[in-house]
Every structure is written in C-alpha cells, then in structure tokens.
Amino acid sequence: TLRTEERQRLARERREEREKQHAAKETQILEKERKAKLQYEKQLEERQRKLKEQKQREEQRRAAVEEKRKQKIEEEKERHEAALHRTLERNQRLETRQKRWSWGGSVTPDAESKTVLLHTASKQPPSPANLRQAEAAMSKRLSSSAALLNASDRTRRSQLSPLDSSVISRLLAPTQASLARSKSAAALSAD
C-alpha cells in the first residue's frame, strides 16, 4: 500500500506539474497573441496615419499647383491687357500724328487756293485762268506737304521701332494716294 500510495502521489505530482506547464504555455500563447494583436493594431494605425499624411500632402500640392496655375493665368491676363493698352495708346498717338501731318490738317491754304475754295463755295464755275492758278497752288501745296511728310516721316521713323515704322507706313499710304488723286483731279479739271 505504501508503494501504491507513493506511486499515486508521484503520478499526481507529475500530473500537477504537467498542468502547470500546460497553463504556463497557454499563458505564453495568449500573451504572444495579445502582443501580436497590439502590434498589428499599431501597424494599422501607423499605416492609416501615413496614408492620411500622404493624402494631405497631395491635396496641398494640388492646391499649390492650382494656385500657381491661377496666378499664371492672372499674370498672362495682366500682360495681355498691358500690351493691348500700349497698342491702343500707340495707335492713338499715331492717329494724332497722322491728323497733325495730313495735308488737310494743320497746313493753312495760301491765297491762291483760297480763291478756288471761294469759287466752289459760291458754286460759280471757275475760269480756266483760276483753274491753272489753283493747279499751280495745289501742286505747290502738295509738294510742300509731301516734303514735310517725308522729312518728318524720316526723323520720326529713325526714332521708332520697326513695328511702329511699318504701322506708320501703312497709315501714310492712303494719304499719299489721296494726294495723288487730288493732283490728278486738279489736272483733269484744268484740261
């Protein structure tokens, strides 16, 4: 009986030892699982935080690009308006110069052409002698106007850019053509 009791006691101690080891292993496993779960949650939070930060950076970059694009459009618009304003001012200056230097503008008619103007104003037909005088006065006036135009044109063109010079040339062309037409009309009426 002593041996049997001893064997039973030893078996019970071994069983208790095995149960303790088993409980310790289970505790270790549970602890590992808990740590793994905490690690996973931590990694998940870190990943979400990084994604959120990346999204914010992308939104900021997109907003900066959009702001830059708007600023560029605004600068381009301002540049365009300034160029348009300069062109309009230049055209107005050219128009005032053109009016100032046109043959019908500031040059006052001399006495001979005044007589022709008086005849036409009174609607009386001018005499051939008056027509010849008018033709001579007109040619004199045309040549002096053309000389004035050419001289002032040359000095002004030397001070202007090629674009301004070409604009002035285009603007002056009809004036010179109208001078030629007036001259030929005077010659025809004299004939």
b/e string for 130-152 if b means 16 or more Cβ within 10 A?
bbebbbebbeebbeebbeebeee
* Assigned domain for 143 exists: no
pTM of the model: 0.34
- Kindly tell me if the per-residue pLDDT of 83 is higher than 80: yes
* Assigned domain for 188 exists: no
* Assigned domain for 133 exists: no
Neighbours of 179 (CB within 10 A): 20
Count of structural domains within the chain = 1
Average pLDDT over residues 131-146: 60
Neighbours of 101 (CB within 10 A): 19
For 160-177, write each residue's pLDDT tens digit.
666 677 767 766 665 666
* Assigned domain for 40 exists: yes
* Assigned domain for 90 exists: no
- Kindly tell me if the per-residue pLDDT of 63 is higher than 60: yes
- Distance between CA atoms of 135 and 110, rounded to whole angstroms? 13
* Assigned domain for 53 exists: yes
* Assigned domain for 173 exists: no
Neighbours of 64 (CB within 10 A): 10
pLDDT-derived band at 69, boundaries 50, 70, 90: very high
For 102-138, write each residue's pLDDT tens digit.
555 444 444 444 444 444 444 445 555 555 665 666 5
Average pLDDT, the chain: 76
* Assigned domain for 115 exists: no
Q: Supply the range of the domain harboring residue 21.
A: 1-70
